[in-house]
Amino acid sequence: MAKRIACLLTNVLPFWMIFVLVGCGTHEEHQEEVDFSITGTWQLNELQFLSGQIVDVHTGYEYVWYRFYEDDGTCYSAELDIEDNRKPIKPHEISEYFFMMSPYDTIYVEHGRMTDLNIIDMNTIGIYRGDYVEVYVKNDRLPAKKVLEVERTIENALQPNHNRKTQYIVPNSSTSGDSYRLMWIVAFFLIVCMIFLLVFYRVGVRNKKREDKWESTNDNEVNQFKENHSEHIFSHSDYYLALRQQLCKGPALKQEEWDKLETQMRKDCPEFFRKLAEKGQLSEVELRVCMLTKLGIPPSAIAIHTYREHSSISTIRSRLYYKLFGKKGSPRELDAFVHKL
Q: What is the pLDDT of residues 251-274, one digit of tens each?
A: 888 899 899 889 988 888 888 899
Nearest to 260 by CA among 275, 283, 242: 242
Asked if residue 266 lies in contact with residue 276, where contact means CB atoms within 8 angstroms, the answer is no
Best-predicted range by mean pLDDT among 27-36, 47-56, 177-186?
47-56
Q: What is the pLDDT of residue 102?
A: 80
**What residues does each domain of the chain span?**
1-35, 40-174, 176-236, 239-340
Q: What is the pLDDT of residue 330?
A: 92
Encode pLDDT of 202-239 as tens digits. Answer: 767 676 776 666 555 445 554 554 555 555 566 667 77
C-beta contacts of 263-271 below 8 A and 24+ residues apart? 264/234, 264/239, 265/234, 265/291, 265/294, 268/230, 268/231, 268/233, 268/234, 269/227, 269/230, 269/231, 269/234, 269/294, 269/341, 270/227, 271/227, 271/341
How far is the CA of 84 from the CAs of 14, 80, 88, 170, 171, in angstroms? 57, 9, 9, 12, 12
| Distance in angstroms (rounded) separating the CA atoms of residues 94 and 155 | 7
Q: What is the pLDDT of residue 242?
A: 78
Pick the CATH number of 40-174 from 2.40.110.10, 3.40.50.2300, 1.20.1260.10, 2.40.128.280: 2.40.128.280
Inform me whether the pLDDT recorded for 89 exceeds 80.
yes
Inform me whether the pLDDT recorded for 12 exceeds 50.
no
What mean pLDDT value characterizes the chain? 79
